[in-house]
Structure 1
């Protein structure tokens, strides 16, 4: 495959290519394809372009009309067609005819062969995204490890207290019980750090009463854990966040509860109770649980009463806490919610949660945790987006893995349970993975999904990048270069970047539990300040440029050690060039990218008709004139 993609026909679901971003059922939407003029020997333009959609299960072909690009004579042609939005989710792709052959253009790219519908573009009448969401830069907080604050709280019965600088216990039975004592008032008192960093959204892992430091084993959905400060502490935090322009998203387990939850206790005590139907309890007293973990009994979404209490209607948990001021929910293990054996209520659960949220707060955001391909769960009126582990985290790790065997600090890490180490892959394979993961998503789903270098469930990216395994700050900067390259991709690719607390300081970690390191507020001199400065710079760029938040994505040049792409918006077009090592020079025709104004990195070498991008490792951002 040629490393150059600049002359590939291009379409994505962004506003430049789909002119109505909120289509109605039965409407006709103008969709466009950009076909660059290809100056390479033997290249010819298509002599016809058609949009091929699927209406009520049957393919239909509609011709597109060529429209020379205004002010771009000799650069390319826009082809436009009317797409009938015949179904709530309408799939489509483009056929380009070249003399006696044809090529297909779908979400995965351009193909010189016939392809299935799996990678077709999609528009959805149901997937309307709250307008504020694409503009966010998120910051994830694990409350027990963020900061002390407020009145001292009594040690919970389940807890093994730890001093703030103690090593994190990340293996063995005591992992969920190590208690550092962070509180919601502590988060509130440190909101200035989020604002300094350029964050606009606070994502809190669970705050409900539980019997662990992670609180995914809810003992109640009716109260904030007193250990975190209780209901009033959450109210103070939300109010303070809103006052400084921060949105707040909570974390809810709809797949399971904890074994001490009143619903589960009632279900075990009385086989005739309504709560018995909330779970799948067998005649011998055993029950279904999350991945066989007995402390996390799995909810049965066939129970209408359970649904009513948890997420269906104004009296539900979902609605109640939105009234406390939350701006949205992240749903834990959403990929498993409602799925158990022959039962699959997952799409219905997502749609009902979304309907409840919309009735309570029409602009609330619904995010799903999903560790692998989420495309089949994202097309309808359910989850707005997903935590994009498959379409961002995993490919980026495999391109910027700095701890492979033979490296200065080998780590041998695996990705979310795969029985093989994280590989080191070339750029072409990485981009193919990115495109495959997003091919079948409506564009609105992609821009509503979150991009994570890591999270509370993964090793720290700084360790993946080769920065050490101590669980503390990589003060020597061993993984800094690749870490900052990953940060540049996080801030310049589509999706909502979410920073896990401490990444900006260079914290390391071997696994999810090891990565839940308390923030070293009192050891500021040990922070990796060049990394922190990098976060300040790249979050500021993200917030300053509309094309990075709402623009389309067009790949320009891809080789083993460099990735080059455009973010296109009607207001501006930006060129991004990220390289992990020295690489062959990337030269682009000046006429096709225009003069380049440097925004970050190093200047490009511009001659009379060519642009030569920097050939060493680094991240570079330019505005195209």
Structure 2
């Protein structure tokens, strides 16, 4: 981004050629095998380079050999010109890029951006001809619930021997051996009783962390996959919850661990008892019965061996498997825990085989989401996982840009590690955040990212309110010390491509310093402590996303990126939305109205309260607000 432009010293993405994998630019995000699709490039006109005179060549790789086809100009306006070429999706995943010559300059456009030189194929656009995700996924806003901490139904149930009872307002134990043993008594009927809150927020999908019986409050150490934990109300309570959610138009996604079980699981006990039992093949024993492979060396979580046909049939292959049974009970999809490690151990790598087999068992209208804490792109190009929890291209860059630090201010210690790395959360400019997003997302097809979830935080991380500067006490930041930056993050979560996933309590301003600390009981009986300004903002941004198809299904074109602000368009045939987010006050962002495709600021319709833009209409410019922390959105004609 070093080229000059008429409105400043930095080259702005708005004035650079653009393509992405959305239907507006790629014709469809679901081509079939052997299909030919029309792919389009928008080439802006800039002084010294009339877009109509540009040459654009499509380059794709067919059977390992590059194929070249000249694009034709099929339209132009005050903003520039459109060029179109036919792309043959001849392989299951076809990579492509564009070569452009404008005003004598040679440039390459791929999914990472525009380059003034040849670059590796690793960042090229990808068109997948595999079956796509369910059509409903891109329209969702998810709400994540950790069942033990959301709500009680009032039914008293005996606690198992491993559990330590806690009062609803007791502090969360988040360090030491009692961390997984603390039980608050939330259950599935309690979740069902509070679905009106989920619906009022505007969420349309409920994501439950595990409900199968385990020996911990988190239940990732399953004792069985055949029954819902009696502490949560049992199988019948899950059925009641799913029915109540569906009656409100809310889908429900379950959480399943395919990587490991608990050491008290029916299968593992049978495996240890008899080396000749079929279940012994479900695990990798180095020396039977007490030396075996486990998740990260934790003995209580023995790792499953997917080389065993009987395990695959029992767990995820075909009718009657665990995956199939609970989908038939009403679940709308699965989130797969530790998907990045599933089927992988030393020289064995069956991760894609597992993902493909799970997909084969699921109906086409069910969603398959993978947990992946880092770059998931290599696992997303095929016919396995539909998408991932997008920590790499969303959570991490957003944290580094909106890190509010501790009480002393931005960039100063708040004691938080950087998502598993034992260093403080860094403070980086928006240019770095956008570069990370583009680089990570370049490695997988567009539709994989629109089927991935966007998390400001989750049950495995500190609360974003604490990252943004809202304190570390594990309660509600009612005074709003980190509110402004938190709500800028919320705006990005609701306006970037992907499925926003709200961790229950974020909308109230809950804080937390690590994943366990963030599993805070929802303060239903302390309504006066809620941060109502945050709650209102969540409703507003969720409603805005749901009201505009461009925010759910549109392309992503960055307009202007600086240190303290980032500005982008979500483009769709049915409308375009301009989003401007800032972490601090910044210099004026002045945009050419013609390049935006508008006659002036009068054509910008504010979508959120307080949004406005000043513009020198006579000069054909749009001037965006320079306040911050703040986020604004407008609808373009």
TM-score category, normalised to shorter length: over 0.9
Other structure's SS at 1:22 match: coil
Aligned partner of 1:36 in structure 2 is: 44
CA distance in 1, matches of 2:112, 2:415: 31
- 1:235-384 alignment runs, 5 A limit: 235-283=239-287, 285-358=290-363, 362-384=364-386
> CA–CA distance in 1 between the matches of 2:82 and 2:205?
37
Residue 48 of structure 1 aligns with which residue? 55
Q: Which residue of 1 aligns with 2:452?
A: 449
Match of residue 423 from structure 2: 420
3-state SS of paired residue (1:606): coil
| Kept after mapping to 2: 8 A contact 1:46/1:96 | no
In structure 1, the residue matched to 2:612 is 603
Distance 1:100 1:576, change over 3 A: closer
Select which of 67, 73, 82 maps to 1:66: 73
Aligned residues, how many?
Answer: 618
Structure 1 CA distance, aligned partners of 2:102 and 2:350?
46
Tell me which residue corresponds to 2:551: 548
- Whole-Å separation in 1 of the counterparts to 2:52 and 2:580: 27
1:122 aligned counterpart, secondary structure: strand
Q: 1:598: Cα distance to partner?
A: 1.1
Contact 1:46/1:98 (8 A) holds in 2: yes
CA distance in 2 between counterparts of 1:555 and 1:337 reads 35
| 2:436 paired residue number | 433
How many Å apart are 1:406 and its aligned residue? Answer: 4.5
TM-aligned CA distance change 1:435 to 1:191, over 3 Å: same
Corresponding position: 1:624 with 2:633: no
The alpha-carbon deviation at position 283 of structure 1 amounts to 2.0
Contact kept? 2:284, 2:304, Cα under 8 Å: yes
Structure 1 counterpart of 2:515: 512
- 1:87-486 → structure 2 map (5 Å cutoff): 87-98=91-102, 101-149=105-153, 151-283=155-287, 285-358=290-363, 362-403=364-405, 406-407=408-409, 410-486=413-489
Inter-partner Cα distance in structure 1 for 2:580 and 2:105 = 34
Report the CA distance between 1:43 and its aligned residue: 7.9
Deviation, 1:417, is 1.6
Q: 1:18 and 2:45 equivalent?
A: no
For 1:169 and 1:20, the matched residues in 2 are separated by 49
- Structure 2 SS opposite 1:32: strand
Is the 2:143–2:504 contact (alpha carbons within 8 Å) kept by the matching residues of 1? yes
1:525 to 514, 528, 545: 528
**Aligned mates of 2:321, 2:604 — CA distance in 1:** 53
Matches of 2:246 and 2:273, distance apart in 1: 43
Deviates more, 1:245-254 or 1:265-274: 265-274
Is 2:51–2:81's contact at 8 Å kept on the other side of the alignment? no
Describe the superposition over 1:498-532 as per-residue Cα deviations: whole angstroms up to 9, x where unpaired: 00000000000000000000000000000111111
Contact residue 210 and residue 254 of structure 2 kept, 8 A: yes
SS at match of 1:62: strand
Q: Distance in 2 between matches of 1:545 and 1:197?
A: 17
Q: Residues 583-622 of structure 1: CA distance to partner in whole angstroms, max 9, x if unpaired?
A: 1100111222212111124210122211100011111000
The Cα shift of 1:490 comes to 0.3
Query: 1: CA distance between counterparts of 2:275 and 2:166?
Result: 41
Shift of 1:414: 1.3
TM-score norm. by structure 1 comes to: 0.97
Q: CA deviation at 1:97?
A: 2.0
Contact map agreement 1:404 1:422 (CA 8 A) in 2: no
Determine the C-alpha separation between the residues in 1 that align with 2:588 and 2:236. Answer: 58
Distance 1:352-1:46 versus aligned 2 partners, 3 A rule: farther
Preserved contact between residue 406 and residue 471 of structure 2 (Cα < 8 Å): no
CA distance in 2, matches of 1:264, 1:104: 54
The secondary structure found in structure 1 opposite 2:550 is helix
Distance 1:26 1:94 in 2: 20
Rounded to whole Å, the distance in 1 between the matches of 2:572 and 2:54 is 27
**Counterpart-to-counterpart distance in 2, 1:536 and 1:20:** 31
Residue 448 of structure 1: how far off its partner (Å): 0.1
Check the 8 A contact 1:150/1:185 in 2, yes or no: no
Distance 1:189-1:613 versus aligned 2 partners, 3 A rule: same
Distance across 2 between alignment mates of 1:183 and 1:602: 41
Moved over 4 A (4+): 41-46
Q: Which among 624, 628, 634 is matched to residue 613 of structure 1?
A: 624
Secondary structure, counterpart of 2:571 in structure 1:
strand
TM-score normalized by the length of structure 2 = 0.95
Alpha-carbon distance in structure 2 between the residues aligned to 1:59 and 1:277: 45
Q: Secondary structure at the match of 1:498?
A: strand
CA gap of 1:126–1:150, structure 2 versus 1, over 3 A, is: farther
Verify the 8 A CA contact 1:405 1:412 in the aligned structure 2. no
Question: What SS does structure 2 have at the residue aligned with 1:621?
Answer: strand
Q: Which runs of 5+ in 2 are unaligned?
A: 2-9
The 2-side partners of 1:363 and 1:579 are apart by: 38
Tell me by how many angstroms 1:23 deviates.
1.4
SS of equivalent to 2:545: helix
